[in-house]
Each structure stands twice: as structure tokens, then as C-alpha cells.
Structure 1
Amino acid sequence: MFLTRRVFALAAFAAPLAGAIPAHAATFQPYTPAAFAAATKAGGPVFVHVYAPWCLQCRAQEGILERLMAEPRYANATFFRVSYDQQKDVVAKLDVPRSTLIAYKGGRETGRMSWGVTQDAVQKVLDTAA
């Protein structure tokens, strides 16, 4: 009986929290040319983040992006991560430094930002395609 009360109390506490967790939060996908082509062809917002784990600006952008990706308006967006260290060919093709965020809508680039580390700077790029 004591265990049943404990389970009931835990369920009563956890139920309101379940609604706070987005059901379909966007996540980063590894960038491949085929996946990028498919996502842009689908027509929804597509975002490419050029990232290096040792880059402080990249990590700051990552934290901001992860918070924003949890918002319902980005549930249908596709977020790609390009490894600055391991995908030099993609970095060269995009012609970007590390810590760059690029937005696409309908296969067309709509916004780009490098080095920005504020939520406003990141949000501004996301808004160009959302």
C-alpha cells in the first residue's frame, strides 16, 4: 500500500511535467549531400550549423539552437550539423568559417550568420526561413 501511494504521488507530480516536454522537438542530423537535397526538396525550413566541438562560439550557438529547436514552430524544420573538422569539402563548398548558421527555405538560402552568440542573432537567421 505504501508503494502504491508513492507511485500515485510520483505520477501526480510527473503528469504536468510531461506536457512541458515537446513531443516532436527537432534534433540535429549529420549533414550529407543526399539528406540535405531531400530536406530542401521537401520545401520546409532547413538549417545548417557548421560546428567544431572545440569552438566556443559553436558551443554557444549549439545551446541556443537546442533551446529554440524545442519550440513547436520548428517541429517540421530540419537541422543539419556540419563537422568543421571532418567535412572540409562541405565547409569549402559552403564557403564558411566555423560557427556558421545558414537557413534555407524551398531550396533557396534565406539567411546566414557567422560568429553570432546571442539568441537574437540566432533567432534572426531562423526567422528568415520559418
Structure 2
Amino acid sequence: MIITRRSAIVMMGALIGASCAPAEASEFLPYDAARVEKAVASGKPVVVHVYAPWCLQCHIQASYLDGLKDDPAFRGVTFFRVDYDNQKDVVAKLDCPRSTVIAYKGGKEVARMSWGVTKSSVVDVLKAAM
């Protein structure tokens, strides 16, 4: 196989680009009922955070969740965020107040925490999903 200078440069560029790409990070997906139902039905771990931008407890929980979502211990968790102010139908269906974290595993809800503002209370819910 003959490698031309041009193809060698292209291959080197591709290798460098691939090595510099950031590792895939977990992100909070906006709550979409069909997408959440599919994720929960898969049996894989799912975490839903009911969040209001003006809520102090929500911000505290979000800061912990944001710090933990890429922790290898929680690899494979799909994270969703409910917009408390604009998704009242979802909030009613979930039957929860703002600042609630809900964990699903094996296709069913396994843990729920509202108003908790300690890291351990958030971690406990995430662990239940695993």
C-alpha cells in the first residue's frame, strides 16, 4: 500500500483531532415525555430533576448533580430536567414539588427526594438508580 504525502497528512490530522476531542460528557436533557418513557422502559438508570431557575434548593441540587453526572460511578445514567415553570403538566403527572430528584431503575421509580440540599441526599438518589 502506497501512502502519499497528502493522505499521510490527512490521517495524522484525523488522529490528532480524535485525540483532542473531549470525552463524552453526560448532559441534562430537557424533559420530553416520550423520550423519558423510552429511557425508563429500557431498564437503564434514569434521573429526573424538577427544577425552577428561581429556586434556591433547585440550584443547590443542580450544582451537585452537575458535579456528579460525569462521575464514573454514575456512568450510564440518563439525566433529564423538568422545567417547573413551563412544564406544569409534567410536574402534575410526577406529583411532586420543585427541587425534586427522581431515580428510575429496571423500568420503575426506585427513589425520590424533594427539598434535600445536602450532597449525600442527592448521591443517595443517584445510587438508587445504579
Classify the TM-score, shorter chain: 0.7 to 0.9
Indicate the residue corresponding to 1:71 in structure 2. 71
Indicate the residue corresponding to 1:23 in structure 2. 23
Q: TM-score, normalised by structure 1?
A: 0.81
Alpha-carbon distance, 1:43 to partner: 1.6
Indicate the residue corresponding to 1:111 in structure 2. 111
Task: Give the number of the structure whose alpha-carbon radius of gyration is greater.
Answer: 2
Indicate the residue corresponding to 2:129 in structure 1. 129
1:36 aligns with 2:36: yes
Contact 2:74–2:126 (Cα < 8 Å) also in 1:
no
Alpha-carbon distance, 1:23 to partner: 1.8
- Aligned alpha-carbon RMSD (Å): 1.9
Contact 1:52–1:58 (Cα < 8 Å) also in 2:
yes
Offset from partner CA, 1:24-61 (integer Å, 9 cap, x none) = 32110001111001111222100000000000000000
Residue correspondences, number: 112
Contact 1:25–1:74 (Cα < 8 Å) also in 2:
no
Fraction of identical pairs, as percent: 58
CA distance in 1, matches of 2:43, 2:109: 12
Q: TM-score, normalised by structure 2?
A: 0.81
Indicate the residue corresponding to 1:46 in structure 2. 46
Matching residue's letter, 1:123: V
Contact 2:111–2:128 (Cα < 8 Å) also in 1:
yes
SS at match of 2:36: helix
After the TM superposition, which segments of 4 or more aligned residues of structure 1 sit over 3 Å from their partners?
Answer: none
CA distance in 1, matches of 2:49, 2:99: 7
